[in-house]
Amino acid sequence: MENLVFVQPIRLVFILLVLSPSFCRISSKDASLVERVCKRTMYPDLCVSSLRSNPHSAGADVKGLARIMLELFRDKATDNLVQVKKLQKMATDPVIQRCLNVCLIEYGLANDTYILAAFKYFESNLMADALTNTGWAYDGVETCEENFGEEHRSSLLTARNNHAMHISHIAEDIMSILAEKSF
């Protein structure tokens, strides 16, 4: 957890440097907005398929697309939290129990605190704060995943954790495009 304080600003600065200023001038009427936005993210294919599967992406502006990804991250985090609770009921290995408890805490914070805060800041156009809180939620998912390895166990949540992290990363990348406007 120590490095999250440093990782987030560095990631934000890096993204801001990479993005071209002309990007903000893309209008919502541009049919290829989804593709153009997604090209600026770490996972363009997942970004396009995630946005296209949501009917609200048609006609949405960049902020609308960021909101869809943030909502998707929230839904994944909630879903994974429910899954962690299910797995806890079945686990017999005390080490696995301990790992799942870490996941319960981390996903609990992500679901109940960080993602809610991210939404609040996002809607107030305080993108740096929205990014910070989304980043904390992301770090929690990463902690959940890495803890299994540290305890010499195979993670029971790898696919779910990776998917949630990728969705979070895309949401952060799109929010960074919006953050650029206020700099």
CB of 54 to ligand NAG, least distance (A): 20
Binding residue for ligand NAG, selected from 38, 81, 96, 157, defined by CB under 6 A: 81
The DSSP element (H or E) to which 72 belongs, if any, is helix 62-90
Query: Is 88 a residue that touches ligand NAG (CB under 6 A)?
Result: no
Binding residue for ligand NAG, selected from 78, 83, 88, 101, defined by CB under 6 A: 78
Angle at the Cα of 166 from the Cα atoms of 154 and 180, rounded to 5 degrees: 145
Query: Is 82 a residue that touches ligand NAG (CB under 6 A)?
Result: yes
Q: How many helices (H) and strands (E) does the chain have?
A: 8, 0
Query: Is 112 a residue that touches ligand NAG (CB under 6 A)?
Result: yes
Query: Is 80 a residue that touches ligand NAG (CB under 6 A)?
Result: no
Cβ atoms of 47 and 64 closer than 8 Å = no
Cα 141 to Cα 104: distance, rounded to the nearest angstrom: 10
Measure the CA dihedral 142/5/180/170, to 10°: 0
- The residue type found at 56 is H
* Residue 116-155 contact track with ligand NAG, rule CB under 6 A, x = bound: x---------------------------------------
Query: Is 101 a residue that touches ligand NAG (CB under 6 A)?
Result: no
> What residues line the site for ligand NAG (CB under 6 A)?
78, 81-82, 111-112, 116
